[in-house]
Each structure stands twice: as structure tokens, then as C-alpha cells.
Amino acid sequence: MSTLNRRGFMKGALLGAMMAAGLITGHAFAADFPTAKVNTTGLAVTDTTVKVGILHSATGTMAISETGSIQAEKLAIEQINAMGGILGRKIEIVQEDGASDWPTFAEKAKKLLEKDKVASVMGCWTSASRKAALPVFEKDNGLLFYPTFYEGLEQSKNVFYTGQEATQQILAGLDWIAKEKNAKTFYLIGSDYIWPRTSMKIARKHIEQHLGGKVVGEEYIALGDTQFGSVINKIKLKKPDVIYAAVVGGSNVAWFKQLNAAGLNSSKQTMLTISVTEDEVLGIGGENLAGFYSAMKYFQSQDNDSNKKFVEAFKKRWGKDAVIGDVTQAAYLGPWLYKAAVERAGSFDVDKVQAALPGYEFKDAPEGSVTVEANHHLTTKLRIGQWGKDGQAKVVYTSGYIKPDPFPKGYQ
């Protein structure tokens, strides 16, 4: 073997080892990954840039929840670009507004994949928006990083789910509240679309079949509705040990304010919600839900070095009063996981990126270390936070690591 060829071989072997270890960072390696080799499927990848889509609701009733995801994804991308990008290419953002309308998500996903040729998309929030867009991603072989806790019962090669599925949030949370509060009776309430309905179906089965409890009421409110008087009267009549809630978006503001006005505060009623993060509390007001609990994998108040750096950077970028909720943090993971996957694959080609990410451990995630599993979900922990008047949650319980099981036996 000639000296030149030997050097080339050794260089290639070194790059391969670094890709496998997820160590390739910075612009210094751009010349080692010619566009013709790292982009063989016509994506919007040039010698200097790669286009990535952001698809969330910047307007409409879901904007209260999704704005944080947009901010987190942009922050992560800015940080990645400051490090030199991905395989030496800066990320160029193409942002679209799903406008809290599920068909619009499908339409915008199609534009991003077919017209803009983005290499990946950070997007969706509600399960309804994800379900609407999923056929587009599967048809066009696009790649979606989805940040929201959701009902499970789904696995697609075209999606990486950076939030919790049902067994990691719903089942573990119900186990905790039943034991901690000796709860036997539950009143279920959610917004009227697929995620709350499916979540409550799972919750009911767990309460009745595994906890030996009883569901004394179940109600669904139209997304965006602000009238909760009738439901609150029913709750007062039933006197459940626990209100289990999955009210989403702008409806949360009216829900908690009306509960408080009716005297159903935490001194008289226990509530565990799976839909309220710091993002929603900003609109609700801490005084309206102080003492209630949320089941999440992340709270802004978590005390670890990675989270402290994340919170500091987020506030520096988006203002000192900005808050960070569970989905916001999960959205922040998306661009970093995408970067790791591309660099492990040594390619932007979707099939190669999909195959490269499972098994990757993101040790510096703000929530703590997470691992991408073969089913495209993350192994993570559940945390229970109790809300204070300042709009921050005190973590009162942290589980061990919970492996994702999107198709739990007996809950389908």
C-alpha cells in the first residue's frame, strides 16, 4: 500500500471510529464529507448548509404550549451552528406555522419535505397534529423529531419520540399518586381529541384493573373551550380523591382559574395533571394551581449542571422571564439527537440517519442522561412536581429509569 493510500485509509478509519462514537463536531471535517457522498437522496444539503424544518403552532389555541418548543429548537440549532454545524454544515431553518389546525400540519409537512427538501423536521405537539402529518412523513420518507408526551400505541421508522409515552408518564404517575395519597376514586377530565381520550382510556384501565380504584367521572371539553362550570359542579358532587387532568392549550387558563374561584384549590382537592408544564403556568398563574401536581420527565427547577447551563442559555436568548417546560426541554433534545445521528451515520440520508441513532446515549441532556431505544423512544425517568405560587415546581418524586413500551400489554 502506498504512503498516500495508507494515509487515506488511516484517515478514513479514524473518521469512522469518531462517527461511531458520536465525536465528530465542528467545521474542520467538512471537506472530509463531500456532499455527493453524504447526500445521495436529493435533500437540501449543500457544501455549507443543511435545511431543517420547524413545524409548530405559532398561532391559535396551542401557541401557549408550542412557543417554547420553537424557542428551544432554535436555541439548540444556534448552539450547534456556533460549534460548526453538522458535518461542517450550518443548519438553515425553514419554519412553518401549523396554526393549531391539524390539516394545516399535514399541508406544511408536505411543503417542507417535497418543496423545501428539508433533511429533518422538528415539529408537531398534539397527537392530532402528529397523526395528521405522519402519513406525509412516511410517504416521503421524511424524518420527524416529536417532542411531546403522548399516549403511545405508535412506532414509526420516520419518527423519533423525545417525550414520554404512556407507561413512562401515565402509569408511573398514577402509581405514585395512588400510593402517596391513598387514592381510591378518580375523576378524569381532558380536552376532546385523540391524546386525552386515549390517555384516559389507558388511565381508566390502570386505575380499575391494577390499582383497584374507581373512576367516578369522565369528561371531555372541546379544544379551546373556556366553560368549565358544569364539570366543576359534577366534581364537587362526586368528591373524588384525585382529579386526573389532561386539559391542554389555552383552555388550561380558564380551567384552573375557575377551579380556584369555585374553592377547589389544593387545600381541598388533590389533582395530578399530565398536561401542565411551566409554559402553561405562565398563562395560568402560579396562584391558581399552587399545591397541585404534574407528572413529567423534566422541570425547570432540576438541580444538575447540564440543566443549569441550559436554563441560563435559554433565558439569555429569550429573556429573563422566559420559562422552560417538559416539552420545551424535549424539543431542545431534537436538534442535538439529529446532529448525533448524522455524525454517527456519516450521512444525511434519512435511512442511514434512522439506523444510526438507536443505542445513542445523550449524557448531557438537561433532564439527565437519556438513551434512544430501538423503538425510537427514549429511556428516561418520571418526575412528580408540586407547583408553587411562583410558577415553578418542586420535584417531590423521581423514578428510576423507565424503558419505553409504546404498546403495553393489556392497555391497547
Over the stretch 149-204, which tens digit does the pLDDT of each residue have? 999 999 999 999 999 999 999 999 999 999 999 999 999 999 999 999 999 999 99
Q: Are 249 and 61 in contact (CB under 8 A)?
A: yes
Are the beta carbons of 341 and 357 closer than 8 angstroms? yes
> Under DSSP, is residue 258 helix (H, G, I), strand (E, B) or coil?
helix
- What is the residue extent of each domain of the chain? 39-163+303-376, 167-296+386-402
Task: Give dist(CA 348, CA 356) in Å, integer.
Answer: 11
Q: How many residues does the chain have?
A: 412
For the segment 107-124, the average pLDDT, to the nearest whole number, is 98
Are domains 39-163+303-376 and 167-296+386-402 of this chain identical in fold? yes
Please determine, looking at this structure, whether the domain spanning 39-163+303-376 carries the CATH number 3.40.50.2300: yes
Give percent of the chain with pLDDT exceeding 70: 93
CATH H-level superfamily of 167-296+386-402:
Response regulator (3.40.50.2300)
Taking only the tens place, the pLDDT of each residue in 295-348 is 999 999 999 999 999 999 999 999 999 999 999 999 999 999 999 999 999 999
Closest CA to 101 of 135, 136, 132, 144: 132
Helical ranges in 126-243 per DSSP H: 127-140, 166, 172-180, 194-209, 229-238
- Please give the pLDDT value at position 411: 86
pTM for this predicted structure: 0.90
377: left (phi over 0), alpha (psi -120 to 50) or beta: beta
276-292 pLDDT, tens digit per residue, is 999 899 999 999 999 99
Model pLDDT, residue 186: 98
